[in-house]
Structure 1
Amino acid sequence: MSASHTHGDCCDHQDRHQFSLRKALIPIAVSALLFVIGLLFNKALNNTPYSVGEYAVLIPAYLISGWSVLITAGRNILRGRIFDENFLMAIATLGAIAIHELPEAVAVMLFFQIGELFQDYSVGRSRRSIKALLEVRPDTANLKLGDQVREVDPKSINIGDLILIRPGEKVPLDGEILSGQSQVDTSALTGESVPRTVVTGETVLSGMINQSGVLTVRVTKPFAESSISRILELVENASSKKANTEKFITRFARYYTPVVVVLSLAVAILPPLLIAGATQAEWTYRALVLLVISCPCGLVISIPLGYFGGVGGAAKRGILVKGSVFLDALAQVKTVVFDKTGTLTQGNFRVTDVISENGFTQSQLLALAAQVESQSNHPVAQSIRQAHGKSVHKSGVQEYEEIAGHGIIARIEERTVLAGNDRLLHRESIPHDVCIVEGTVTHLAVDGEYTGRIVIEDELKEDAIAAIQALHLQGIQTVMLTGDNQAVADRIAHTLGLDQYRAELLPEGKVAALEEILDRASHTQGKVAFVGDGINDAPVIARADVGMAMGGLGSDAAIETADVVIMTDAPSKVAEAIAIAQRTLQIVWQNIILAMTVKAIFIGLGAVGVATLWEAVFADVGVALLAIFNAGRILR
């Protein structure tokens, strides 16, 4: 038996069909009515010839409430999966009927179905936030062909095609706005309720809802790779990555159930043989009580449900966790390592100063920098092109080489032009004055001669300080690793109150620095999370115990590499994700301890004859219900 099998078999109906409360209540209501009649008129019905009246009322009640359990038990036996709770309940209730304890047999099945009803409802609630994502999957797209607009399947649209998005429509595919401006609702992707204004040149993602203006968009990704499709794939696959707690319960149940069956058989057979005056009927009844009490429903239902609630609750808050195993890891995080640009800072660079030397004017230097940076997607390159403000002829750029962590070398009009940081100047042996500047600096050199520098500044995100404070309150160490210069790193670290930081790191330097942090953390049994923007931090995200991508909806690297994707640009979500994970783990262990304790007490009471089948039913269903309600708290 496994937790996944058990849960799937018990609740087969709600996995295949959308849960309907009214539909589920009808058989329970009919069975409950027959059960009440059987109890109220039990004496009269029992006094009919061969107790036919009692059988006529209570057997239909038993079959209506217990048919799914009996069928599932039979199907599992044929598949070789004998020992699960369906088998335990089928044997216990059929045994009760055999010793003429019909009301108890019906009660077991009826209260089990009531427990299932609550479970179905609880699962429905925890899935609601994930179903909200399914609802924003667009069914159609308006393909623009010249002056005509055709409604087509989004899957048939190619990269480069133009689509029209009218007010009130869902954005069907990721793309760049060519004309129009509007307010878009991003709540399905980010969990944020405040609409965002988008204008020409900006990117819109599938799953957003256009609220006001008409937008013409050039498609940049096919439907299968669009943001909403990737998110849905993540959520749907989350259940495959199980936490160690879930795996433990699966292994536990595999041994626990056969032991219970053998123990029950021993209780039924041995005492009448070994104890004087012990009757077969009495000890068989005790064995049946033991079987019902031993059903591990509370465990196998509530533990996966607890983790599912954690994943669903996080998704509702704009945090995508790729599986319960990462919730467990998040709960043990003691160190959070941040990238700087786009993670703690906004990544919206702007040019604040241009210092030209050796015969260049400021405008000439900016024009040259814009040309050499014309093929780069780096935020610094974008800010230089924006400051230049004129169209750039890329055709003049030849022998272009982008050196990670350094900058760019290119041939422009028969001249070798360098644009990059101080490391690039030293690498190419370009003589220059040492300058300490508050900001990111791009140096330029032409044919080995230094020609000036461009100073660029970035701003902290609004909630960056609050994010670091929240992590400190949780007792978590904060570290920043950045490729930026020491002066910028000093200022950012001091403003935020970081515990540690390292600057001027190449991509491989970040990995080496993280290795050191992981090595130190291993001595304290704490986990290390790395938070990056997902564009150039994939190696470090992959190496951390928990890789977190910040605002990574548009980044394939983030979606593929990270264990947790934060769908907003808010670093404060890191502390929130850790809090949700800790709460989930706490509730899961509460459920395990509750179920184990109650089971142990009632197994003892059943073995000595104190507990009856009635108490067994309430113990089993009661534990399951308490565990389900407890797991439901994670969503709140």
Structure 2
Amino acid sequence: MNNVVKRVFILKNLDCAHCASEIEREIRGLSNIKEANLDFVSTKLTVMVESKYNLEEIISNIVNIVKKKEPHVEVLDEKSISKNTSNLKYKSNKKELIKIGLGALLFGLGISFKLSFWVEFTLFFISYVLVGGDVLLKAYKNILRGQVFDENFLMCIATIGAFAIKNFPEAVGVMLFYQIGEFFQDLAVNRSRKSIEDLMKIKPDFANVKIGDEIKRVSPDEVKVKDVIVVKPGEKIPLDGKIISGSSIVDTSNLTGESLPREVGVGDDVLGGFINKNGLLDIEVTREFSEGTVAKILDLVQNASSKKAKTENFITKFARYYTPAVVFLSVFIAVVPPLLIKDTTFLQWFYRALIFLVISCPCALVLSIPLSFFGGIGGASRNGILIKGSNYLEALNNVDTVVFDKTGTLSKGIFKVTKINSVNMSSEDLLEYVAYAESYSNHPIALSILKAYGKDIDKNRIKSYEEISGYGVKVVLNNKEILVGNRKLMDKENIKYDKVEEIGSVVYVAVDKKYSGYILISDEIKEDSKNLAKELKNIGVNKIVMLTGDSKLVANKVKEYLGIDEFYAELLPHEKVEKLEMIKSKRQRRGNIVFVGDGINDAPVLARADIGVAMGGIGSDAAIEAADVVLMTDEPSKLVDAIKIAKRTRGIVFQNIVFALGVKLIVLLLGAGGLATMWEAVFADVGVALIAVLNSMRVMKVNR
């Protein structure tokens, strides 16, 4: 794998979905190509080359394949494209509209008035050339390159055949409505491509770097760690950093999908992509742009379509065999029935064969299905959910078990002292003893105690300090022996104490071998977690499990409170992986297991699950690297949204497959029986493709 090189190209002006699938297939067949994915929606070609030594030769072969299939397409290295220039080139529609309009006018005259044969022929012929000239030219060039079975050739044969049997209105009408359908289809595809750029709005255009008393406007790529940037009201924060001066309200919706603004001030971390609403901020940069949150999100969104769903791969293979099969069937229909069936003519069956040719293009499926998955990924990202590929979006449809980490996922992960219960001393004295005992620890519980104490620690007062692994600590303070720890420490030292059963971590305290009380440290359950189990069950999840390092008592209370099916407590990080493996082996139904964790300590479990979901992973390298799905806020309910988006996407994909194949099959049968005309055939091709594309675009509008 060390020699594998990833290269990304933009196929500028790519406008044929079927051709895109053929280009991808041929590039995959090249030697030394480990993987190749061409996304028609973003026009991005991603290839994994096994050896960097013959890279130039491989690139030359890729360009030749593209030019052979689509000569007007430019192959551009993504790195060579200006950062300020859109990757996508939208077709100019003005000329197309003028030609279609003139052709339609002549067509209208031809069918509205009774004219002599040659006048009628001339009107329809000029109209045909105006409307279908581009199609004829493309078909001619493709034939010269040995590329026969494409939609241009099929449309030309069908319409020229209609002219040959003197069916002029039908020949022109078919080409006219084919072009109108293509025009609106291009508009729909361009609109979906434009939505890629809308997702990219989080990318900053500039950064104001503070150099002495001057402010210099530069590209975000030029800013280094420790540089100070100035962000004015209304500007986008360009890089991740920490506020060193000023306070403001920031809009985080570009990253999180949440509309509620957030107050920030000195010491707070902010991320690139946030919008500064009202205050002047000085921010010390903590990450270069290429390593920052915005760059990682852009990379995820732009490359998500390279990991294709099984449905996409199936349709690509299906289209490869479908078109030639229908073409050969049309030849059979034109030739065989007139020889076998009495009282029929060659022209009748030739016309029926032409109908087959018109219907045979698989663009409705090849175009609409990837567009549906892209729309689902795009809609999810606008809701603060990053899905790394169509394959993971599809996998979310079949979730059997969801396994949650507790701390930082179902709970806030912020420990605080919620109760001090002292015996034979004041609460202040008890808290002071515990704070001094925990002063050498960086554990979150110890830090929460020190925060609650809120005073400076004079470590000269501590005469001795001993950490008892798995139990707690022993210190001598003011000539008193202080024991601070769990139940096992009290039992080990033979100290009689009152067992406490409350939600949270209980820190027991003994002074000079006498029980002196306890401090309760609680990790608050998120409001968003309360109805999570119920909502997951409502959308078809079979089992919900919680893994935690907390005590069984705490875990059981959380389980009952949230309605979780089962839990495993007192786990070390490596034991979580073991429990996940056990859960996988014991599942009773076929389905995927999702693990949801905070993305930092849970990276091994995230990687081992069928679908790893990182909670609150925004800005966390571990989360983005290990997870398949990243929830960009601290809301576990986003998982419910992600599954709903996946189900909605699958529903639309299924609708398109059934509708496209169903209509084509019906019209094919009707055409073979002489009950369908060329008009129905055009609808079965272009009309169905347009409707399928428009249906696909519905998935981009996702409501929470």
1:529 counterpart letter in structure 2: V
Q: How does 1:305-384 map to 2 (within 5 A)?
A: 305-353=371-419, 362-363=431-432, 365-373=434-442, 379-380=444-445, 382-384=447-449
Deviation at 1:44, TM superposition (A): 6.5
Residue 607 of structure 2 is matched in structure 1 by: 542
> Which has the higher relative contact order, 1 or 2, with Cα contacts under 8 A spaced 6 or more apart?
1
Cα distance in 2 for residues equivalent to 1:123 and 1:183: 37
Alpha carbons of structure 1 residues 508 and 332: separation in structure 2 relative to 1, 3 Å? same
Residue 474 of structure 1 is matched in structure 2 by: 539
Alpha carbons of structure 1 residues 17 and 372: separation in structure 2 relative to 1, 3 Å? closer
> CA-atom RMSD, angstroms?
4.2
Alpha carbons of structure 1 residues 362 and 249: separation in structure 2 relative to 1, 3 Å? same
Residue 567 of structure 1 is matched in structure 2 by: 632
Deviation at 1:293, TM superposition (A): 1.5
1:487-527 Cα shifts (integer Å, max 9, x gaps): 22122111111111221111122111111222233x41122
Name the TM-score, length of structure 1 as normaliser: 0.85
Residue 49 of structure 2 is matched in structure 1 by: none
Secondary structure class of the residue paired with 2:410: coil
Cα distance in 2 for residues equivalent to 1:81 and 1:422: 77
Q: How does 1:432-511 map to 2 (within 5 A)?
A: 436=500, 438=502, 439-441=504-506, 455-476=520-541, 477-511=543-577
* Equivalent residues of 2:422, 2:518 under 8 A apart: yes
Deviation at 1:19, TM superposition (A): 4.0
Deviation at 1:454, TM superposition (A): 5.6
1:630 counterpart letter in structure 2: N
* Equivalent residues of 1:177, 1:218 under 8 A apart: yes
1:537 counterpart letter in structure 2: D
Cα distance in 2 for residues equivalent to 1:411 and 1:121: 74
Alpha carbons of structure 1 residues 503 and 390: separation in structure 2 relative to 1, 3 Å? same
* Equivalent residues of 1:93, 1:108 under 8 A apart: yes
Residue 648 of structure 2 is matched in structure 1 by: 583
Q: How does 1:59-458 map to 2 (within 5 A)?
A: 59-63=129-133, 66=135, 70=139, 74=142, 78=145, 82-126=148-192, 130-276=196-342, 278-353=344-419, 362-363=431-432, 365-373=434-442, 379-380=444-445, 382-384=447-449, 386-389=451-454, 436=500, 438=502, 439-441=504-506, 455-458=520-523
Matched, 1:47 2:107: no
Alpha carbons of structure 1 residues 274 and 57: separation in structure 2 relative to 1, 3 Å? same
Deviation at 1:365, TM superposition (A): 3.6
2:583 counterpart letter in structure 1: I
Alpha carbons of structure 1 residues 172 and 592: separation in structure 2 relative to 1, 3 Å? same
Residue 633 of structure 1 is matched in structure 2 by: 698
Secondary structure class of the residue paired with 1:197: strand
- Select the residue among 674, 677, 687 that pairs with 1:622: 687
Cα distance in 2 for residues equivalent to 1:297 and 1:86: 12
Alpha carbons of structure 1 residues 558 and 130: separation in structure 2 relative to 1, 3 Å? farther
Alpha carbons of structure 1 residues 626 and 50: separation in structure 2 relative to 1, 3 Å? closer
Deviation at 1:144, TM superposition (A): 2.0
Residue 107 of structure 2 is matched in structure 1 by: 38
Cα distance in 1 for residues equivalent to 2:516 and 2:355: 89
* Equivalent residues of 1:89, 1:295 under 8 A apart: no
2:373 counterpart letter in structure 1: Y
Deviation at 1:443, TM superposition (A): 7.9
* Equivalent residues of 1:369, 1:419 under 8 A apart: no
Alpha carbons of structure 1 residues 57 and 255: separation in structure 2 relative to 1, 3 Å? closer
Cα distance in 1 for residues equivalent to 2:346 and 2:388: 53
- Select the residue among 497, 521, 529 that pairs with 2:594: 529
Alignment coverage as a number of residue pairs: 616
Cα distance in 1 for residues equivalent to 2:505 and 2:341: 88
- Select the residue among 665, 668, 680 that pairs with 1:603: 668
Residue 398 of structure 1 is matched in structure 2 by: none
* Equivalent residues of 2:327, 2:360 under 8 A apart: no
Structure in which a larger fraction of residues adopt helix:
1
Secondary structure class of the residue paired with 1:554: coil
Deviation at 1:118, TM superposition (A): 3.5
Secondary structure class of the residue paired with 2:412: coil
Cα distance in 2 for residues equivalent to 1:630 and 1:540: 37
Cα distance in 2 for residues equivalent to 1:182 and 1:463: 26
Residue 621 of structure 2 is matched in structure 1 by: 556
Deviation at 1:124, TM superposition (A): 4.8
Alpha carbons of structure 1 residues 109 and 501: separation in structure 2 relative to 1, 3 Å? farther
Name the TM-score, length of structure 2 as normaliser: 0.77
Deviation at 1:105, TM superposition (A): 3.9
Deviation at 1:620, TM superposition (A): 1.8
Alpha carbons of structure 1 residues 338 and 356: separation in structure 2 relative to 1, 3 Å? same
Matched, 1:512 2:578: yes
Alpha carbons of structure 1 residues 451 and 25: separation in structure 2 relative to 1, 3 Å? farther
Deviation at 1:578, TM superposition (A): 0.9
* Equivalent residues of 1:314, 1:577 under 8 A apart: yes
Unaligned residue ranges in structure 1 (runs of 5+): 395-401, 413-417
Cα distance in 2 for residues equivalent to 1:119 and 1:100: 30
1:100-155 Cα shifts (integer Å, max 9, x gaps): 54543443343333333433444455456543331221121122233332222211
Cα distance in 2 for residues equivalent to 1:147 and 1:423: 59
Cα distance in 1 for residues equivalent to 2:250 and 2:204: 15
Cα distance in 1 for residues equivalent to 2:640 and 2:120: 68
1:198-225 Cα shifts (integer Å, max 9, x gaps): 1222110000001111122121111011
Alpha carbons of structure 1 residues 50 and 351: separation in structure 2 relative to 1, 3 Å? closer
* Equivalent residues of 2:472, 2:489 under 8 A apart: no
* Equivalent residues of 1:338, 1:344 under 8 A apart: yes
Cα distance in 2 for residues equivalent to 1:108 and 1:89: 8
